[in-house]
Structure 1
Amino acid sequence: MSAAPEPSSLERYEETCRAAAAAVISAYSTSFGVATRMLGRRHRAHVRNIYALVRIADELVDGVAAERGIGPAEQRKLLRRLEDDVFMAVESGYSSNPIVDAFACTVRDCGIEGRLIEPFFASMRTDIRDDADRGLVGFDREQHAAYVYGSAEVVGLMCLRVFTREERLAPDEAALLERGARSLGAAFQNINFLRDLADDSRRLGRDYLGADRQISETDRLAWVAEARAQLESARISLPLLPKDARRAVRCALELFEELLDRISRTPAAELYTRRIRVPNAVKLGLAVRAGARTLLERT
């Protein structure tokens, strides 16, 4: 029996880049990590590659660079450099940054358009505050919608490109899936905003859900209702997803639905003092249930 051929230098490098992306998701998100492990093998690495790029950009603007003593002007330069590196890697097929290289491979393999990448970096630039800024920076409804589209909805659309890259969809099916992907991304982001009120307002000086003030009980209930409606909108498109993607998406949806249920029972004032979490045992139970339900579906 002959030995397997040695991987080429490029194959070894690309495998290393994928491993780096997987390490990022493992380090930063238990919920997303659980859901991603439920993806079919053909999707798993691509979704990790997307998440890893999103994560390192998010960390740049959410305090890591500042903790290194890097000011806002230099942060903007670093973010622009990262964005330029992404587009250069997409064009050339290579980056010396392993996370960028992994993401660019996914972009090329799955047909992710530049029009989905540019809004993401635009939202990240919004998060960089000048040193002169003081107090809470509030987002009005228009600013909120633009930020959520760039920071979350386009990420949902990127993942959809991964899941459907081998599918032949009718125009109405594609439209329903795109609406579902955007709704799910928006729901995840709005739920995260509610969960992270304490850190966003105290450490980062941001209020994505209000305008220079803490949200009221009425505000909280309205945002909970909006996120719940977005989850329901996303749920409608689930049956159109390939089965080896559907179980993971259903798992993620139900994990965030559980988190939203817990937030719905938490007063607004308390959300500014602690981060609401879903226990790992509950996450595991939800994952098992979502997987079993999908396996029982005929198509």
Structure 2
Amino acid sequence: MSRRSRREEPTGLDLYDRTAQDAAATVIARYSTSFNLACRLLGPRPRPHVRNVYALVRVADEIVDGPAAAAGLSPEAAGRVLDDLEADTLAAVERGFSANLVVHAFARTARECGIGEALVRPFFTSMRTDLSTTRHDDSSHDEYVFGSAEVVGLMCLQVFVNAGAPHPLTPSPELVDGARRLGAAFQDVNFLRDLEHDASALGRDYLGLGSGAVTRDAVLDRIDADLAAAAAVVPQLPADCRRAVTAAHDLFAELSRRLRASPGSTERVRVPDAVKARLAARAWLGFSPRDVRA
């Protein structure tokens, strides 16, 4: 190795930042092939930051959704682990460093893109709800979805608008509404897909379907309305983000269509890899998001 190439290798904080970023990318690659595919459609400016956001989200989700319990932690102990993760995250955003690589990667993104306590705290509040609440009504559903999904959409929007900018800017109200509604649609689709598992393995009813107060068709109608509203503002996003958002939108629109077509199925609805590839190719070619109402 030449002296010149040796000098160009990152060292110190640069090396630590890059290692943290690589750790976040590994988390996403292992846990979500669909999300990883959509991330590849992002431009190099926002891509690592979105991975940093989702890596932290995934780690927090795993604390409340099984692995912590499988390791022998009680709900109370898992809650303390979640509290520690929240405290470390907020401290890292303030000081710019964490010994936890995933937290460090998120903090790096949060500081650059303007993701603050107002988005971080509601997320952890919703995650904490999973340790104590098993049945949701309309009000608790909306509160849970805001923290678990809508604020994640808002974090990503902060990345889309601000990654690489000298100072974070405030996104337009239209983009904020679109980000929230896309996040809500993603979450409700996953609730429907995981209905059997959530009920049997976790004892949870996020949608209130068990009470009879909400119908499956009403949930699907809400999902499709949210997807349509989100699709309308995709052209307002920076160009290097539109393909990935379109691909993610269209994947969940396809899931919604398949859920509506299989009302009695107890199997988890999936989109075949070949169809995912077609949706990604369509987005890559610059097509607008699919009309879910067509």
TM-score, normalisation: structure 2: 0.91
Give the direction of change, closer, same or farther, for the CA distance of 1:37–1:144 in structure 2 (3 Å limit).
same
Structure 2 equivalent of residue 293 of structure 1: 286
The Cα RMSD (Å) is 2.1
- Structure 1 partner of 2:62: 59
Instruction: State whether residues 144 and 209 of structure 1, in contact with CA within 8 Å, keep that contact through their aligned partners in structure 2.
Output: yes
SS in 2 for 1:207: coil
Q: Is the 8 A contact 1:207 1:214 kept in 2?
A: no
2:85 maps to 82
Q: Are 1:197 and 2:217 an aligned pair?
A: no
Q: Which runs of 5+ in 1 are unaligned?
A: 131-136
**Letter in structure 2 aligned against 1:67:** A
Q: Which moved more, 1:190-199 or 1:159-168?
A: 159-168
Q: Structure 1 residue 35 and structure 2 residue 38: aligned?
A: yes
Task: Determine which of 4, 15, 19 is the counterpart of 1:16.
Answer: 19
Residue 285 of structure 2 aligns to a residue whose secondary structure is helix
In the alignment, what sits opposite 1:223? 219
Instruction: Report the equivalent of 1:275.
Output: 268
Q: Give 1:170 shift.
A: 10
What residue in structure 2 maps to residue 174 of structure 1?
172
1:198 is displaced (CA, Å) by 1.3
**C-alpha contact 2:23 2:101 (8 A) present in aligned 1:** yes
Q: Which residue of 2 aligns with 1:266?
A: 262
Task: Look up the match of 2:229.
Answer: 233
Alignment partners' CA distance in 2, 1:276 and 1:57: 25
Instruction: List alignment gaps of at least 5 residues for structure 2.
Output: 289-294
How many residues get paired? Answer: 283
Aligned in 2, Cα 1:87/1:175: closer, same or farther, shift over 3 Å? same
Change in CA separation of 1:123 and 1:189 when aligned onto 2, cut-off 3 Å: same
8 Å CA contact 1:163, 1:242 repeated in 2 = yes
CA distance in 1, matches of 2:168, 2:17: 30
1:147 counterpart = 2:109: no
Distance 2:64 2:168 in 1: 37
> Helix, strand or coil for the counterpart of 1:260?
helix
Q: Which amino acid aligns with 1:11?
A: D
Residue 186 of structure 2 aligns to a residue in which SS? helix
Cα distance change, pair 170–25 in 1 and its aligned pair in 2 (3 A): closer
Choose from 97, 105, 116 the match for 1:113. Answer: 116
The percentage of counterpart residues that share the same residue type is: 50
For the structure 1 residues 65 and 169, does the alpha-carbon distance in structure 2 shift closer, same or farther, using more than 3 Å as the test? closer
Q: How much has 1:129 moved relative to structure 2?
A: 3.3
Q: CA deviation at 1:111?
A: 0.8
Match for residue 134 of structure 1?
none
CA distance in 2: counterparts of 1:167 and 1:91, whole angstroms: 18
The 8 Å contact of residues 243 and 294 in structure 1, kept in 2 or not, is answered as no
